[in-house]
Amino acid sequence: MLKIGTQAPQFTLKDQEDKEISLSSYLGKKVVLYFYPRDNTPGCTRQACAFRDLYKGFLDKNIQVIGISRDSVESHKKFAEKYQLPFIILADKDLEIIKAYDVWQEKKTCGKVSMGVVRTTYIIDENGIIQNAQEKVKPDTNPQEILNML
């Protein structure tokens, strides 16, 4: 996990509408950047829907919510449409940004060890500095905890 107080790694990735999104375009605004393992899985769906349900609260505080996983643009489009997700979801199929944010790690599932995305949420301030970092977050409560913090 990246350290609080460090510069957030810059990126440009495609969103669910196949549009390029750059972190640098959000300078002057806080960003909640959350990394999740996979579209349409139970935990990831609950987390995305919790962000959806609280999205107006983030907007009211002038905060941009961005989700990132290694799924494709097409997968993100279907996921966003199915659950009416109003925020940006970025595709990082090459794992470049996932690795830059140190969320590609060894995981144990049912006794089996493999590499995967560890559910992590970063709060990036108006100057592009990591203000808060939370690893192995709970999908159901993480969005509310983040909103309460902000």
Q: Could you tell me the CATH number of the domain that includes residue 74?
A: 3.40.30.10
Strands 30-35 and 63-69 come out as parallel
User: Does a structural domain hold residue 36?
Assistant: yes
User: Does a structural domain hold residue 2?
Assistant: no
Residue 110 is predicted with a pLDDT of 78
Residue 20 is predicted with a pLDDT of 97
User: Does a structural domain hold residue 125?
Assistant: yes
What are the phi and psi torsion angles at 83 (to 5°)? Answer: -110, 10
What domain range is 122 assigned to?
12-149
User: Does a structural domain hold residue 39?
Assistant: yes
Supply the residues annotated as catalytic. 44
Rounded-to-integer distance, Cα 85 and Cα 17, Å: 12
Q: Look at the chain and report how many structural domains it folds into.
A: 1
Residue 117 is predicted with a pLDDT of 93
State pLDDT tens for residues 96-133.
Answer: 999 999 999 988 777 888 899 999 999 999 999 999 99
Residues (pLDDT < 70) of the chain are: none
Residue 114 is predicted with a pLDDT of 87
